[in-house]
Amino acid sequence: MSLNEILGRARRESRTVLTEIESKQILEAAGIACTETRLARTRAEAVSLSAAFGYPVVLKIASKDITHKSDAGGVKVNLKNADEVEVAYDGIMQSAQRKFPQARIEGISVQCMAKPGIEVIMGMTRDPSFGPVLMFGLGGILVEVLQDVAFGVAPLEEKDAAEMIAEIKGKKLLEGYRGQDTVDKSCLESMLLRLSAFVDGRPEIAEIDMNPVFARSDGAIVVDARIILTQPTQPVQP
């Protein structure tokens, strides 16, 4: 599904928050690698998709009304066989319905378990004065604990992306700290540049959150993503 089709559907449904699947489709179209994610509407579909992806897999709640999946008990990882997928599917659905009884639930998203790496975050927010501002830092739960992030105003140049990565305090983690593999920083720079190119001139995109991005010696991949649109009646910033 194209960007315009996704945006059009969201507008028709009077929502500004895109689903994980929609967000990843848009980012993939922008040249940013994401874990392939498919929607399962039944337990049997979840098992079938898991077998097609190959185990282990990750299951997540798919709902336009549940922004933070973990708050709903809506994430199960490292599922190794069909039995585990069935149990996880039922558990996620029951938990989400109990904690968010008014939420409209589309089903369960299924994705392969990504090869682990250093967790980083990339994103964009729209500043009233500067327009799209990109962000890079340590991701996962560390982003809330350490708040170790750097910012750059779009459009970025190559030196800007490199400086953002070099600016964070935890950059040693990207350089093979204590025997860990060195992260491919050129890949991270490329992702930031592609994100910058994508958001520049697209005022309908209010925010992008890519967290975590697994950064490794052989590249990087977005594991979870969320895109928020501007309000249709809201004047957008440049």
Q: What are the tens digits of pLDDT across the range 94-123?
A: 999 999 999 999 999 999 999 989 999 999
Pairing of strands 205-216, 219-222: antiparallel
Q: Is the pLDDT of residue 51 over 60?
A: yes
pLDDT at 167: 95
Report the C-alpha gap between 79 and 76 in whole angstroms. 7
pLDDT at 235: 46
Question: Contact, 194 vs 134, CB < 8 A?
Answer: no
Cite the DSSP H helix spans in the chain: 3-12, 20-29, 43-53, 82-99, 142-146, 158-167, 185-199
Query: The domain 36-112 is classified under which CATH number: 3.30.465.10, 3.40.50.1370, 3.65.10.10, 3.30.1490.20?
Result: 3.30.1490.20
**Average pLDDT for 25-39:** 96
Question: Contact, 163 vs 132, CB < 8 A?
Answer: no
Which residue would you say has higher pLDDT here, 207 or 146? 207
Residues 6+ apart with CB under 8 A from 177: none
| Omega prior to 101 cis, within 30 of 0 | no
Q: Name the residue ranges covered by the structural domains of the chain.
A: 36-112, 118-229
User: Reading across the β-sheet that carries 105-112, which strands appear in turn?
Assistant: 37-40, 105-112, 57-63, 75-79
The CATH architecture that domain 118-229 belongs to is 2-Layer Sandwich (3.30)
CA–CA distances in Å: residue 182 to residues 32, 91, 173, 221 = 21, 38, 8, 15
Q: Is the pLDDT of residue 181 over 80?
A: yes
How confident is the prediction for the chain on average, in pLDDT? 92
Residues 6+ apart with CB under 8 A from 209: 121, 123, 225, 226, 227, 228
Residues 6+ apart with CB under 8 A from 166: none
Q: What are the tens digits of pLDDT across the range 127-175?
A: 999 999 999 999 876 666 667 899 999 999 999 999 999 999 989 889 8
Q: Is the pLDDT of residue 233 over 80?
A: no
